[in-house]
Structure 1
């Protein structure tokens, strides 16, 4: 099979190495940009210009770092060539215009030290009968948009929780009604606002302790999953994975987590491209409780916290079951040194039910094929929530992405029966309404880069000469020609989908080859159009955006989301209204969950899922899975097979 990238391109796109991270720090220190006070907020490989990569040009691997001096608050956006040890560019950020670099680990523990010394906060706790400071956990939260008097500062807004013992689940005991504003650079408590005195919920939620949850359920017998001949895939030193005709390069980034490059599928002896690059470029969790103490709760787990850096080390039999291949993830610590997350990426095959089946009444044949899929996944924990990111590749050409949300719901004190903005999940314990909204960045390359998007939806046909009995229906197809036209909302009542086709390549029936994006079509951002979060997370107001490719346009809410006033990213880019018909394009797909918590989500939430599906549509000349072998003892026609002749 032929490769879809020029020779050497996979090495250029491979995950950043520990050696490159160390060389990056050395270059920054040698240039005097990084000092002993510098914290590395983000370190990542710059995605090189696709157009230059595809020409086979020899390009350097460049590393981008977001730095902050935690004694002054001065931040820098720096690019380094680690191979030569040279600084390519360096820019000091203007907080009023650029926003701030993402949260660094120092801030998490530091705010508790600062708040525990503040007399106003101590008095607010004492008023509630809470005098043992060792039991009071201070939870730092991204501040969102700053007020005028906070402008230019690096702020965390903080809540308090009671943790009675080291084993206690502190989320069960929120001290609601008190918000603390902390400047994490100067170490000042700017304000302690005691809005309302609500009782601290008393019931524990220690699901992790057998003494609390009770004995394990009996009667569940083991399930064994084995592949005695090993997995059906191979993976090389650059992360290039080959499986059942699929080829893709698996990478990892501190901000985006899993990054897939060069996704292609075999058609006979030809390897045909589908996606140049795919990732989850942002996720935001906007909360829907407008009360004074929590109106600001909107967390960008990508741009503010860098969810890739919170990847879990996965355990066989717990996170992944079967014949597993693990990959480590290499990220930078806040000291700029390399940090290895062991077994961060899980790769395996799993049975996926029936692939295709038919028992024919006329010719007597009965054929069934089992489906299996390749799974590439990782799990991360940001604060109270845990998320699994799963990419699935099927034998029929289907690509599916699924996020699995679990962990602990963010808690509050429940104000009273009928409160519309939260659910009471335990006596006096609330869980505010919220959303989990994700943006998939799909840099499409369907048989090349001359791509376009058609919106396809079901359409009823009025009675008339062409439909005399009123039974006909058809499809409505609309080409999205510019960025202003390509801002779309899903409509499940019409089955609205988006066809990504190549305008210069046709299939054997003379139609454009393509793939279809099937959205789940769940609610978009529910905040008001004039709200701060609407300005900061404008990407969540449409299910689909299509933009012209530019190498610097990577994050839908902009490069620096933390403390940014809004308007960056997609809304800024699409203002140019560039053409997207028959050119190099990027799809941005918004999907996610709108969560009205249940009692059953406490004290730990069973997995809830969201995602999307991509399927080939006219890309192949026929069903591409006809060559999948049957099992050794696949089913034969039943004895009464010929007794059934009904058509369908």
Structure 2
């Protein structure tokens, strides 16, 4: 063991080996090194849950970035979670110095579930005598147990069991034929599995049994059934891409940023800056999807337990897909891999976990002057940084889009398969769900995401203003508003954490400005800012005091603003599974009494957004992707439109029109001759 430790250390830290960026995810070799250090102290036969980067403290990173030749390089540290019988061990391993920095044994706390945990549960239910008996009652013989499948979910919180043992609830399905889609054949009972011991601790069985559907509904069609009128669309960049990648640092169209990857959050964008005429201006220190919850709307037992925290309980990084060219991404692609740990402590890598490419984004700006028919039209492009993760039945496609005008857009597409439950032919769904196929009930649910925004708008001291479109004072006919048409942007400053707890108001088109109040724009006189524009912000529909309301405190409001702290990353708590919400964890705990100042401070903005899903037959057997989007847009940040220097696709100025000369086609590389022969924006 000591010999292997030394071999790894020599490989990682030999003088001619380039050191990783301090925010780079751990490599396979670093993961092996962390495991070796832990094994040397605590023994080789441990069950690992997590080995990932422990991010350096913000102050250390900023000092090093400011003066990398002078300031100490932040240590490479690994966050390690080990699972035992009735406990977990939480530790930090200092890889730079080869020592365990902290190690804490915790009871009554459960770590996230891994893919191995989920796969193990399916094996357990297929061989358990009690599960077999229930399947036989539904007409599934023991010889067909290999046709029984389950989606293992965390149990949420069940007061019968608490959080002293690690549990999963097995939501069961049947697949009569190998190529059938099992979600068309849901079963009506739910085993509870002890993840650690493999025992079935209980089975929830409805008082009135529901038959198994017998009619398949598959999304894999016979090839003869596919449309024949779909022609290929080919995307080429014969001169290559317009971005550069060094390690995990990307430069594109005046943007520069570091692309990280977390086992929980997936993509993490760090140190996002923009080159404004030679002045590099800081925008955001860290952007990530920090948490999400999917509460289902059926009050019938045991469906109240269906409220998955897909990031905190399973991990958007752990569940990420290996992406494929031409399918998940099109164009000229740069990929990044992601390395994780198996339960046995063996590093493993998901290739092509992140896809980076450019796309045409339509018209960036255009104007035609009706007086002389002079025109300019400039097509924009965007840089897309994406990953896709599968949470049992659902797929979440996450796209971070950078635009040439300085806008940052987060787009999420939801697809995959509905979570389904069996129903009798004459059963009333009572409005809690929809029969999407004979014998198949899909329950109402929400998808609520929490975006963590760590801003540095022209510096790390920022302030948030709520902005509401508001009618001007004065009645119609009054001197100050004679015709009643006055309206303005009413700005309300959040000075304390308590003041920031706010919700979206569609009646005022509410947005939020993240400002640097230490500067003003030379023309508008307003503070330079990035505006959060987000209108898909449904409320948490669980009633106050309900189980999900207590557990998902981050989703009670659209906006929370807190003062920055290095250890405040996960708004539902560090270890989410089987928490009860009492006492409060995560964001409600950090809010405290609400008196902390957030005026001109180093702050974090937490934004909850998402959608409500009332299922319909068109969503089955596989959902067409449903998109949602939000924007971070510069306001009073640049002197004028920062995209004016993007080459236009076509431009003709008034003097050219007057002289009868053709305009110039530049942006897409189309020759002047092609324009003259074929017309404007010819291809």
Residue in 1 that maps onto 2:212: 200
Residue in 1 that maps onto 2:591: 574
Pairing 1:33-432 to 2, within 5 Å after superposition: 35-36=44-45, 38-56=46-64, 57-58=71-72, 59-69=74-84, 72-95=85-108, 99-131=109-141, 132-176=144-188, 178-195=189-206, 196-210=208-222, 215-237=225-247, 239-362=248-371, 364-415=373-424, 416-417=427-428, 419-432=430-443
Pairing 1:26-37 to 2, within 5 Å after superposition: 26-32=36-42, 35-36=44-45
Residue in 2 that maps onto 1:646: none
Question: In 1, distance between residues paired with 2:351 and 2:199?
Answer: 37
Shift of 1:290: 1.5
Alpha carbons 2:444, 2:614 under 8 Å: kept: yes
Question: In 2, distance between residues paired with 1:25 and 1:547?
Answer: 35
Shift of 1:19: 1.8
- Post-superposition Cα deviations, 1:520-539, rounded to whole Å, max 9, x if no partner, equal 24312111111111111011
The change in CA–CA distance for 1:10 and 1:276 in structure 2 (over 3 A counts) is: farther
Which of 541, 556, 563 does residue 526 from structure 1 map onto? 541
Alpha carbons 1:456, 1:498 under 8 Å: kept: yes
Shift of 1:302: 0.7
Residue in 2 that maps onto 1:606: 624
Q: Does residue 1:626 correspond to 2:631, yes or no?
A: no
Give aligned pairs, total: 622
Shift of 1:207: 1.2
Shift of 1:304: 0.7
The change in CA–CA distance for 1:112 and 1:240 in structure 2 (over 3 A counts) is: closer
Shift of 1:202: 1.6
Alpha carbons 1:591, 1:610 under 8 Å: kept: no
Q: Does residue 1:501 correspond to 2:520, yes or no?
A: no
Question: In 2, distance between residues paired with 1:342 and 1:109?
Answer: 21
Residue in 2 that maps onto 1:436: 447
3-state SS in 1 of match to 2:449 = strand
3-state SS in 2 of match to 1:539 = helix
Shift of 1:10: 8.2
Structure 2 gaps, min length 5: 1-17, 65-70, 661-683
Q: Tell me the C-alpha RMSD between the 2 structures.
A: 2.1
Residue in 1 that maps onto 2:12: none
Question: In 1, distance between residues paired with 2:512 and 2:116?
Answer: 44
Alpha carbons 1:42, 1:255 under 8 Å: kept: no
Is 317-326 or 333-342 further displaced after alignment? 333-342
Shift of 1:364: 5.0
Residue in 2 that maps onto 1:548: 563
Does 1 or 2 have the higher relative contact order (CA < 8 Å, sep 6+)? Answer: 1
- Post-superposition Cα deviations, 1:479-512, rounded to whole Å, max 9, x if no partner, equal 0011101111011110100001002122223321
Alpha carbons 1:457, 1:497 under 8 Å: kept: yes
Shift of 1:55: 2.1
Structure 1 gaps, min length 5: 1-7, 643-648
Alpha carbons 2:536, 2:628 under 8 Å: kept: no
The change in CA–CA distance for 1:233 and 1:630 in structure 2 (over 3 A counts) is: same
The change in CA–CA distance for 1:149 and 1:346 in structure 2 (over 3 A counts) is: closer
- Post-superposition Cα deviations, 1:214-234, rounded to whole Å, max 9, x if no partner, equal 521011111121111000000
3-state SS in 2 of match to 1:613 = strand
Question: In 1, distance between residues paired with 2:237 and 2:128?
Answer: 59
The change in CA–CA distance for 1:261 and 1:174 in structure 2 (over 3 A counts) is: same
Shift of 1:259: 0.6
Residue in 1 that maps onto 2:667: none
Which of 485, 498, 501 does residue 471 from structure 1 map onto? 485
- Post-superposition Cα deviations, 1:129-148, rounded to whole Å, max 9, x if no partner, equal 12132222233221111324
3-state SS in 1 of match to 2:311 = coil
- Post-superposition Cα deviations, 1:65-93, rounded to whole Å, max 9, x if no partner, equal 11103xx2321111001232200001111
3-state SS in 1 of match to 2:314 = coil
Question: In 1, distance between residues paired with 2:244 and 2:479?
Answer: 58
Is 443-452 or 163-172 further displaced after alignment? 163-172
Residue in 2 that maps onto 1:5: none
Alpha carbons 1:20, 1:83 under 8 Å: kept: no
Is 46-55 or 23-32 further displaced after alignment? 46-55
Question: In 1, distance between residues paired with 2:593 and 2:26?
Answer: 33
3-state SS in 1 of match to 2:585 = coil
Alpha carbons 1:368, 1:635 under 8 Å: kept: no
Alpha carbons 2:185, 2:213 under 8 Å: kept: yes
Alpha carbons 2:368, 2:375 under 8 Å: kept: yes
Shift of 1:210: 2.1
The change in CA–CA distance for 1:223 and 1:186 in structure 2 (over 3 A counts) is: closer
Is 253-262 or 151-160 further displaced after alignment? 151-160
Question: In 1, distance between residues paired with 2:381 and 2:344?
Answer: 43
